[in-house]
Amino acid sequence: MAERGRPRSFDRQAALERAMDVFWERGYQAAAMSDLTEAMGINSPSLYAAFGSKEELYRAAIHHFAATESDDILAPLQSEPTARAAIEGYLMASARIFTRPGRPPGCMVVLSAVNAVGVGDETSRLLREMRAGSVTMIEERLQRAIAEGELPAALDPHPIAGYYVTVQQGMSIQARDGASRQTLETIAQGAMAAWDGLTRPRAVAREPALMPR
């Protein structure tokens, strides 16, 4: 069962984490191979043997980001008892994660490849699906709240989820501009001020809470 050949002299997972930090901070295009190999403590042939290419390494870093940072942000959607607390927790967790000391500010999935140029179709699709995945998760949480009677049955979860994800993505930009955790938390509270208006039951087909899908 033992591996054949010369064993790898570096920790693949640790090197991936260092690569993630480089992509996270500099973005995909601005992250040069020399930046990556220096941060990972290896030479480029080792990088290519272990990860395939720069873009494959980037995708691996995105998946690692999703398995660590993203999960911390999305956890409140499952753990909080009410839909309102779930979304508030989602935004407040974002404020905390986006301003962790010593870590790049904002969300890697949102910031590291906003301009899809220079990145392949597969990677572009992966990023877009991940961003859309947040909308789906919030949507499902709202749907659950409707099923449990917390929210009115006539409510359309999709535009509400889209609104809160948009706020969270704006918070990434703000974090990149130097906004503090406190500032981001204030923004999150501002977004929650829309909750009652968005979820209040109202006469159907006369004044919809939010318009189209």
Partner DNA sequence: CCATTTTTATAACGATCGATACACAATCGA
Partner DNA sequence: TCGATTGTGTATCGATCGTTATAAAAATGG
Our CB check for a copy of itself shows the closer of 50 and 192 to be 192
Residues of this chain that interact with a copy of itself (CB under 8 A) are 25-27, 29-30, 110-112, 114-118, 128, 131-132, 159-160, 162-163, 165-174, 176-178, 182-183, 185-187, 189-194, 196-198, 209-212
- Binding segment for DNA (CB under 7 A), chosen from 41-49, 78-86, 139-147, 163-171, is 41-49
Q: Please say whether the beta carbons of 192 and 87 come within 8 A.
A: yes
Q: Give which of DNA, a copy of itself, none residue 191 binds (C-beta under 5 to 8 Å, depending on kind).
A: a copy of itself
Interface with DNA (CB under 7 A), residue total: 24
- Binding segment for DNA (CB under 7 A), chosen from 28-36, 70-78, 150-158, 162-170, is 28-36
DSSP state of 7: P
Q: Please say whether the beta carbons of 196 and 155 come within 8 A.
A: no
Our CB check for a copy of itself shows the closer of 116 and 146 to be 116
* Residue 136: C-alpha distances to residues 22, 26, 67 (Å): 29, 28, 17
What whole-number distance in Å separates Cα of residue 71 and Cα of residue 54? 25
Residue 184 Cβ, how far from a copy of itself at the closest point, in Å? 9
CB atoms within 10 A of CB 128: 13
Residue 12 Cβ, how far from a copy of itself at the closest point, in Å? 26
Q: Give which of a copy of itself, DNA, none residue 194 binds (C-beta under 5 to 8 Å, depending on kind).
A: a copy of itself
Nearest to 52 by CA among 109, 99, 120, 128: 120
Q: Please say whether the beta carbons of 41 and 18 come within 8 A.
A: yes
What whole-number distance in Å separates Cα of residue 144 and Cα of residue 140? 6
Residue 198 Cβ, how far from a copy of itself at the closest point, in Å? 5
What whole-number distance in Å separates Cα of residue 36 and Cα of residue 50? 13
> Binding to DNA by residue 49, rule CB under 7 A?
yes
In the numeric block, which tokens belong to residue 130? 């991940």
Our CB check for a copy of itself shows the closer of 27 and 48 to be 27
Interacting residues toward DNA by CB under 7 A: 2-10, 31-34, 42-46, 48-50, 53-55
